[in-house]
Amino acid sequence: MTALDQFTYPPEAPLDCDRCPRLVEYLNDCRAKEPDWFNAPVPSFGPEDAELLIVGLAPGVTGANRTARPFTGDYAGDLLYATLEKFDFSNGKYDSRPDDGLELKNAMITNAVRCVPPQNKPIGAEITNCRPFLISRMNNLPNLKVILALGKIAHDSTVKTLGGKLAAHKFAHAAEHSFQYNDREITLVDSYHCSRYNTNTGKLTTEMFENVFSLIANQLDK
């Protein structure tokens, strides 16, 4: 794929995207088992004038893959949406379902990989295949200033999207990385993923996650 091709991609993947055969097969299995679930590339959630873009890994099979809204209906969403509310990035109450009336303010949530992967583990080719949609998503946020990467895969894909070198921008919790991107200054902030495993093991505490959002608030206030 050339750089020019990337600009022909829409910010949201088509529901019948077939670029990743393994994920298409997995989605077909999910459709057979759970025909009432969404079972398709999950679109981003949030307003197009957002200054903050949150990049997760991929939809959870019983979370966003079921409900069609990122981080909705699984454990990781509880901490993420509670923190978004605390830092005034949302209106309404998160209630684990896409019709809870929740709206995001100045923030959008997307995923590095838009289709649910088996065992929550996309392979390298799938991350690469889906990156044009992440590039297009970023290019279609005219006010974008800060990107929050949840976990190393989201961090790495975002650094590549921004044209940076991974050796110069290593993932670390609460690290901040500066980029010049399309004549704009973008700050990438890293956090451990707010997964059940990370929070249950204490790798990520609520305080640590809120500290990351304090960094984001400071960047947006600049």
CB of 2 to ligand SF4, least distance (A): 17
Distance of alpha carbon 59 from alpha carbon 28, whole angstroms: 15
CB of 133 to ligand SF4, least distance (A): 6
Alpha helices in 11-149 (DSSP H): 21-33, 64-67, 75-86, 124-139
CB of 50 to ligand SF4, least distance (A): 21
Q: Which is nearer to ligand SF4, 129 or 195 (CB)?
A: 129
Report the interface residues with ligand SF4, using CB under 6 A.
Answer: 13, 17, 19-20, 23, 41, 113-115, 126, 129-130
CB of 13 to ligand SF4, least distance (A): 3
Q: Which is nearer to ligand SF4, 21 or 92 (CB)?
A: 21
Q: What is the DSSP letter of 124?
A: H
Q: Which residues, 6 or more positions from 44, have their beta carbon under 8 angstroms from its beta carbon?
A: 11, 12, 70, 108, 109, 110, 111, 137
Q: Which is nearer to ligand SF4, 115 or 159 (CB)?
A: 115
Q: Which is nearer to ligand SF4, 46 or 132 (CB)?
A: 132
Distance of alpha carbon 102 from alpha carbon 112, whole angstroms: 23
Token pair listed for 222: 């600049």
- Count of beta carbons in the 10 Å neighbourhood of residue 78: 16
CB of 206 to ligand SF4, least distance (A): 30
Judging by DSSP bridges, how do beta strands 146-150 and 52-56 pair with one another?
parallel
Q: What is the DSSP letter of 221?
A: H
Do 156 and 193 form a contact (C-beta atoms < 8 A)?
A: no
Q: Which is nearer to ligand SF4, 19 or 169 (CB)?
A: 19
CB of 43 to ligand SF4, least distance (A): 10
Distance of alpha carbon 57 from alpha carbon 152, whole angstroms: 9
Q: Which is nearer to ligand SF4, 10 or 101 (CB)?
A: 10
3-class SS of residue 183: coil
